[in-house]
Amino acid sequence: MRDNEPVTSATRQPEPPASSQLTTSRARGGAPAVPPRLIATDLDGTLLHDDKSVSARTVAALAAAEEAGIEVFFVTGRPARWMDVVSDHVHGHGLAICGNGAAVVDLHGGPGAHRFVKVRDLALENALDTVRLLREAAPGTAYAIEQTYGFHQEPDYPKLLMEAPDTLAPVEDLLAPGGAAAGQPILKILAAHPTMEPDGFLTLARLAVAERATITRSSPSALLEISGPGVSKASTLALACAERGISREEVVAFGDMPNDIEMLTWAGRSYAMGNAHPDAVAAATGRTAANNEDGVALVIERILEQRR
């Protein structure tokens, strides 16, 4: 996804679609791949079909992987409250990395009862500095704030979501002492520009903000996702793997957009979807079919066949 607005294959501008046959993927450096112990998969544009459904084939593949002793992590830019789409399909640990690495969430409670296991927030000072610098570098940018249990936005922020924000106000007021966003961890700030080219906006923002925050994007529009310094899908996944004694060589990752690049680069084996952004394709060690063709399930089935 964009993980913050509706995306379909028709709205992306990827390389020509891959065929339904997955490409050969080996561990980095050309070494034979070791048996995987963990599968890390993005959701929107990757595991989910464009209509946001999880196919029966994918549900079966995920269950078979966990039955074979392979953990499955959902790794997404979505906030925790948007995880109901996969809550019915969790097995084993039922953990998800949300907000591009800003939180680890236990999905076992089901819809509306998700529990935060780990939070890697964006410090208030960094948030204010980032907004100030980006306002100077890209006038016309509008902002929204994702928190553990809140969502706030500026009046000019585009109506990308079906849900209404908790508060409408300038982001500086939201983050001020006593403001609507005060007292709760900031998981990420969203920055939208009405006219800039998406990749150009991303480059400009990274130059302007430098080390104060991690900036990425998963939307086909000029919508940036801003997290704490060093926070990404990859860095939080690495922490989760270290806690389990799982090496990067034992991880297979799937993704489709720029916010997946670090994860696709970090994992021992990784697959870009047939509908993926060109930068995600370049970062991965292999390629599978598009999300609407169950590309994740295709690879999992192949992995399990090789274990027999």
pLDDT of residue 93: 60
Spatial distance between the Cα atoms of 141 and 250, rounded to a whole number of angstroms: 41
For residue 242, what are the CA distances in angstroms to 73, 75, 235? 14, 16, 11
**Domain residues for 155?**
124-227
From first to last of its 308 residues, the chain has per-residue pLDDT tens of: 344 433 333 333 333 344 445 665 556 655 557 899 999 999 999 999 999 999 999 999 999 999 999 999 999 999 888 887 776 666 656 789 999 999 999 887 766 677 899 999 999 999 999 999 999 999 999 999 999 888 999 999 998 766 788 889 999 999 999 888 888 899 999 999 999 999 999 999 999 999 999 999 998 899 999 999 999 999 999 999 999 999 999 999 999 999 999 999 999 999 999 999 999 999 999 999 999 999 999 999 999 998 87
Same domain for 13 and 116?
A: yes
CB atoms closer than 10 angstroms to residue 267: 30
* CATH number for the domain harbouring residue 39: 3.40.50.1000
Which tokens in the block code for residue 133?
């610098």
Place of tokens 């016309």: 140
Residue 83 located in a structural domain: yes
The set of long-range contacts for 31-35, using a CB threshold of 8 Å and a minimum separation of 24, is: 33/249, 33/268, 33/269, 34/249, 34/250, 34/268, 35/250, 35/307
pLDDT at 85: 74
Structural domain total, the chain: 2
- Examine the fold and report which residue of 187, 208, 227 is the final residue of a domain before the chain moves on: 227
pLDDT of residue 162: 65
Indicate if 218 and 255 belong to the same structural domain: no
Q: Is residue 99 part of a domain?
A: yes
Token duo for residue 7: 């995306």
207 located within any domain: yes
137 within domain boundaries:
yes
The SS3 assignment for 304 reads helix
**106 and 71 both lie in a single domain:** yes
A 10 A CB-CB count for 258 gives 22
Residues 60 and 99 in one domain: yes
| 57 and 205 belong to one structural domain | no
pLDDT of 89 reads 64
Task: Indicate whether 104 and 131 sit together in one domain.
Answer: no
pLDDT digits (tens, 9 = 90+) for 129-159: 999 999 999 999 999 999 988 899 999 999 8
What was the pLDDT predicted at 141?
Answer: 97
Strand partners, 104: 97, 118
Same domain assignment for residues 202 and 238:
no
DSSP at 34: P
Q: Looking at the structure, tell me whether residues 131 and 66 fall in a common domain.
A: no
The reply to whether 72 falls in a domain is yes
Q: Is residue 4 part of a domain?
A: no
Q: What is the pLDDT of residue 18?
A: 41
- CA-CA distance, 54 to 262, in Å (whole number)? 25
Does a structural domain hold residue 202?
yes
Instruction: State pLDDT tens for residues 225-249.
Output: 999 999 999 999 999 999 999 999 9
CATH code at position 171: 3.30.1240.10
